[in-house]
A = this chain, B = another copy of it.
Amino acid sequence: MTAEAPITRPSSADVARRAGVSRATVSYILNGRTDVRISEQTRDRVLAAVHDLGYVPNATARTLRAGRGNTVLIPMLELPASPASDAFTAHFARELAERDLCLLVHGGRERAGLEAARAWAELRPAAVIAHAQQCPPESVDFLRRAGVEVVALLGAHPDPATAAIPIPMDPNAVARAAADHLIRRGCRRLACLVPGDPLTILSVPRFETVKKVAAASGLLVERVDCDLTEQSLTPTITRWRAEPETRPDGVYAYNDEHALLLIEVLREAGLRVPSDIAVVGSGNFPMGRILRPHLTTTYGPAEHMAALAAAAIRAALDADDTPPPAEPPHPELIVRESA
């Protein structure tokens, strides 16, 4: 272990030397170019040299030369992973790989704003895809000036003033669908769980959405700030039990995890779901399907959205003029037992 063997790091020059050809030839063969004819024997000699040396082309040099790489950068989120975000990432990676693009989840220190954009730009990816909130217009400009040709923004609205490609995706649509369902179901007093801390960025807009939907039907929405603990809900639920006339008859719980928590606390307080209070979650968590009462839930079609995002990026890279669809895909509603 003491005398470390010096690392070979073979380059195309090494391959060329070993095969007795020029570097240009190696390049032509490895890129399978059809406009340059290479004899079978030369080809074999070169490929043998590649194999013998364990040569791997240096993407870094290729990117330098080409001006852009074949990677798509997506910044890591500060939010805890959910089945939905996980599915999106997995499908998105698969879709991009289909097109010879490599998804890289970027775990740098900065996750939003100009500093983050700087870190993303350094790697000269073919494209950067971020949430609209992480990447304000000045960051988009900055990225493009720095050489990132394609900047896609999840959940951004089409805007002729910016060069960013909007990927239709409404993080509040699940809340809207849930509120709609509760109201259609006959609920007349709504409440909305609003988890804090890292989830505020999502939970507050969802609350606003529910409020808007309810207002359209002349209904009010009680805001219940909480986290994923029973204690955070107990005071509210105690009050609800004590005041049957003013308590909500339908709750949007932000997601399925919070919905299951809420149902548990309600059960301990002697309130029945859905007869006393209907509960809708979001995200279609596996647990919601399994536990009792089976959870009514809304969720975005992660697979579909990943395909949409990948297609939009691909089109932009190919300078296709096919504009991406302006309408976000509709969320799904699964009606089970809880509402």
Contact = CB atoms under 8 A, between A and B. Distances in A.
15 contacts: A7-B144, A8-B145, A9-B67, A54-B141, A56-B118, A56-B146, A58-B64, A60-B60, A76-B90, A76-B93, A76-B103, A76-B105, A80-B86, A81-B81, A264-B291
How many chain copies does the complex carry? 2
A64 B67 contact: no
Nearest to A85: B81
Contact of A286 (B64, B92, B141, B228): B228
Given A7-B145, A53-B145, A86-B81, A290 B60 contact: no
Contacts of A146: 9-10, 54-56
Contacts of A55: 146
Interface string A140-178: 011011110100000000001000000000000000000
Contacts of A230: 290
Contacts of A76: 89-90, 93, 103, 105
A107 B96 contact: yes
A23 to B, nearest CB: 15
A226 interface: no
A102 interface: yes
A72 B332 CA distance: 38
A209 interface: no
B290 A124 contact: no
Contact of A102 (B64, B106, B124): B106
A83 interface: yes
A108 B97 contact: yes
B108 A105 contact: no
Interface string A109-153: 100000000110111100000000000000001101111010000
Contacts of A36: none
A234 to B, nearest CB: 12
Interface string A13-55: 0000000000000000000000000000000000000000111
A47 to B, nearest CB: 14
A245 B276 CA distance: 42
Q: Which of A1, A60, A149, A287 has the most CB of B within 10 A?
A: A60
A66 to B, nearest CB: 10
A226 to B, nearest CB: 12
A333 to B, nearest CB: 21
A261 interface: yes
A9 B143 CA distance: 9
Contacts of A102: 106-108, 119
Contacts of A81: 81, 83, 86
A3 interface: no
A61 interface: yes
A2 to B, nearest CB: 9
A287 B96 CA distance: 34
Contact of A287 (B59, B92, B257, B292): B257
B105 A97 contact: no
A281 interface: no
Contacts of A160: 1
